[in-house]
Amino acid sequence: MQVSVSQTIAAPAETIWQAITNIDNCDQMITAIKSIEVLERPEEGVVGLKWQETREMFGKDATETMWITEAKAPSYYHTRAESHGSVYISTMAIEEQDGSCELSMSFKGEPQTFGAKILMFLMGAMVKKSMIKAIEQDLIDIKTFVEASK
């Protein structure tokens, strides 16, 4: 399953970058995130930053551990998570446009186990719609936070 959603934000790339890489305080910016706990912090940059994020998914609290695997400031970062027999890769990317920026988030879930593959087959369409809706709301929350901070 793969999804991608974008949102235009009236702010420079560096301002957006500072917001989306301030993982410690993402629960203050994104309404679905209930709590953040940073587990590992690199000496510099964001590659290697590892955290647990608790958010409401499908009406229940879900806690996942994720980490940044690659980044190029202030353009993009990739995260990885492994859970329930699947590997999840997401990308937050910023593209400058005429006086604003396009912030996009892509998400890819790759089932690794037989059980995860069956679940993806049976529930993939429903999960995909829910993921799009959740990502859209996350990006709206980021836009609201960044534009209010100017």
3-state secondary structure of 63: strand
Cα-based distances in Å from 129 to 5, 140, 150: 12, 17, 32
Nearest by Cα to 5 from 70, 92, 71: 92
**Domain 2-148 is in which class?**
alpha beta
CB atoms within 10 A of CB 2: 11
Spell out the domain ranges in the chain. Answer: 2-148
CB 26 within 8 A of CB 36: yes
Nearest by Cα to 92 from 37, 39, 49: 49
Q: What is the pLDDT of residue 119?
A: 83
Q: Give the pLDDT confidence of 83-130 residue by residue, as tens digits.
A: 888 999 999 999 999 889 999 999 998 988 888 888 888 888 888 898
Q: Give the pLDDT confidence of 41-94 residue by residue, as tens digits.
A: 999 999 999 999 999 877 889 999 999 999 999 999 999 999 888 999 999 999
